[in-house]
Amino acid sequence: MENLLKDIEILRERLQKTWGLLDIDRQKAKIKSQKTKLNDPDFWQNREEAVKINKDLSEREGEVNKWEELKKEIKDLEELVAVGQKEKDISIAEDARKKYEELLAEYEKLEFIVLFSSPYDNSSAILSIHAGTGGVDAQDWAQILERMFLRFAEKKGWPTEIIHRSVGQEAGIKSITIRISGRWAYGYLKGESGVHRLVRISPFDAEAMRHTSFALVEVIPELPEAEAVEIKNEDLRIDVFRSSGPGGQSVNTTDSAVRIVHKPTNISVACQSERSQHQNKETALKILKAKLYKMQIEAKEDKAKKLRGEAQKAEWGKQIRSYVMQPYKMVKDHRTNYETPEIEKVLDGDLDGLAEAYLRKLKSR
């Protein structure tokens, strides 16, 4: 019983330290302030902004409530075990140990947030997938990755919106851009940026030969600061085309889809999620600004990395992760050396282990 009491005390101290790191008390004050704003008659005049603030409030309050509940349960358990020890009542020991293990697991699950180090980690994310070389196999691989990320978002309870999707002629997709809305979405997904490599026996090869396919994943945070990025009209080429995919037949009968190319950087963004050409243009412009804003941030970070001698970039031929289906099963992240044989679970959206390993690697630098 004495050892159990010591374990609970250590857990309480760990929670208190994390409580301070996350500044839970300040978050509680912010939640109270935001709730007061909800009662302002003018609050809902800008409905889009009001919905965003209300959603953030709900998610933030949910997080704080979990920490408060955990703190209370640890305190209650500590008091119960202390009384049991004083009265030499060993009958509660087994149940108390089981409860401690549950609380420890819950703490470690919540503690994950401490790994987020970037100021943009709590933002929503814009995720793009592009099929690489390898023809229909690469396009099929891009679609497998699409499902993986959509399943991951679904498990996290994050709404998703397909902004643009280009379908392959035989199978799979050429590219897709998805908005993933949710607190910490970018923090969880930022480590997915780079080249993903698949090794398998191709379902499209009559001789059942083993093929290697590549797909490039890009992840950027959806940031209000990006709106401040100035783009000259003469630097843009805007093309309109007929939408294909989500939206129904009425979408496909008009040239509502928009592609914007930023000439100086050759960055291209397409959007076909809305029925209106004007709305698609606005969305594409927002994403373009976010990409340019991220480029500015990365340019500063690369300069600092060069000074430290650690500059690196995700490029074709420099895959961040390999997925092997044959002759054995394995997923391996080459940056962290994290690996698992459970490829089916990973492709079904179980990315927490990979995300945690990447974030811990960043934290250790």
Distance separating alpha carbons of residues 13 and 286, to the nearest angstrom? 44
Domain boundaries in the chain? Answer: 2-115, 125-308+316-363
Question: Tell me: the pLDDT tens digits for 228-284?
Answer: 788 999 999 999 987 765 444 444 556 789 999 999 999 999 999 887 899 999 999
In this structure, what are the phi and psi dihedrals at residue 181, rounded to the nearest 5 degrees? -100, 125
Q: Residue 96 belongs to what H/E stretch?
A: helix 93-111
Contacts of 5 (CB under 8 A, 6+ apart): 78, 81, 82, 85
CA atoms within 13 A on the CB side of 225: 11
Under 8 Å between Cβ of 361 and 338: no
Strand order in the sheet with 236-241: 236-241, 257-262, 267-271
Compute the distance between CA of residue 79 and CA of residue 287 in angstroms, rounded to an integer.
53
Dmax over CA atoms of the chain, in Å, equals 81
pLDDT at 23: 87
Amino acid at residue number 121: D
pLDDT tens across the length of the chain (365 residues)? 778 999 999 999 999 999 988 889 988 988 888 888 888 878 888 877 788 788 778 888 988 999 999 999 999 999 999 888 877 777 777 889 999 999 999 998 888 888 887 888 989 999 999 999 778 999 999 999 999 999 999 999 999 999 999 998 889 999 999 999 998 999 999 999 999 999 999 988 878 788 899 999 999 999 877 777 889 999 999 999 877 654 444 445 567 899 999 999 999 999 998 878 999 999 999 999 999 988 888 887 776 555 545 444 444 567 899 999 988 999 999 999 999 999 999 999 999 999 999 998 987 76
- Predicted pLDDT at 314: 43
**Tell me, what DSSP letter sits at residue 253?**
T
What 259-263 contacts at long range (C-beta under 8 Å, 24+ apart), as own/partner pairs, is 259/284, 260/236, 260/284, 260/285, 260/288, 261/236, 261/237, 262/231, 262/235, 262/236, 262/288, 262/292, 263/235, 263/236, 263/237
Q: Distance between CA 104 and CA 115 in Å, rounded?
A: 17
Architecture of the CATH domain 2-115: Up-down Bundle (1.20)
For residues 107 and 67, what is the distance between their CA atoms, to the nearest angstrom? 8
Alpha carbon distance 180, 123 (integer Å): 10
Query: Chain centroid to CA 63: how far?
Result: 17
What is the architecture, at CATH level 2, of domain 125-308+316-363?
2-Layer Sandwich (3.30)
